[in-house]
């Protein structure tokens, strides 16, 4: 079996990952306005 075949994931798992990470971004940035978001270097870097 090739590496490509071993690494194949069902496409739905990628969507689940994207939703999970988007929820994390929302929790990291909750209550921040744009100025506060940019000023918070760690939050800014983590969410980008």
Dump pLDDT digits (tens) for 9-38: 899 999 999 999 999 999 999 999 999 999
* 28 belongs to a structural domain: yes
Which of the four pLDDT bands, split at 50, 70 and 90, describes residue 39?
very high
Q: What is the pLDDT of residue 9?
A: 87
Q: How many CB atoms lie within 10 A of CB 27?
A: 7
Average pLDDT for 35-42: 93
Task: Determine the Cα–Cα distance for residues 3 and 26; give it in Å rounded to an integer.
Answer: 35
Work out how many domains the chain is built from and give that number: 1
Task: Determine the Cα–Cα distance for residues 41 and 35; give it in Å rounded to an integer.
Answer: 11
* 3 belongs to a structural domain: no
Which of the four pLDDT bands, split at 50, 70 and 90, describes residue 48?
confident
Task: Determine the Cα–Cα distance for residues 43 and 48; give it in Å rounded to an integer.
Answer: 8
Residue with tokens 């990291």: 28
pLDDT at 3 over 70: no
Please give the residue range of the domain that contains residue 26.
10-47
* 4 belongs to a structural domain: no
Task: Determine the Cα–Cα distance for residues 34 and 16; give it in Å rounded to an integer.
Answer: 27
């Amino acid at each position: 079996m090739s590496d490509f075949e071993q690494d194949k994931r069902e496409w739905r798992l990628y969507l689940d990952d994207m939703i999970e990470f988007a929820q994390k971004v929302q929790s990291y940035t909750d209550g921040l306005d744009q100025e506060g978001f940019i000023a918070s270097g760690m939050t800014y870097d983590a969410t980008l």
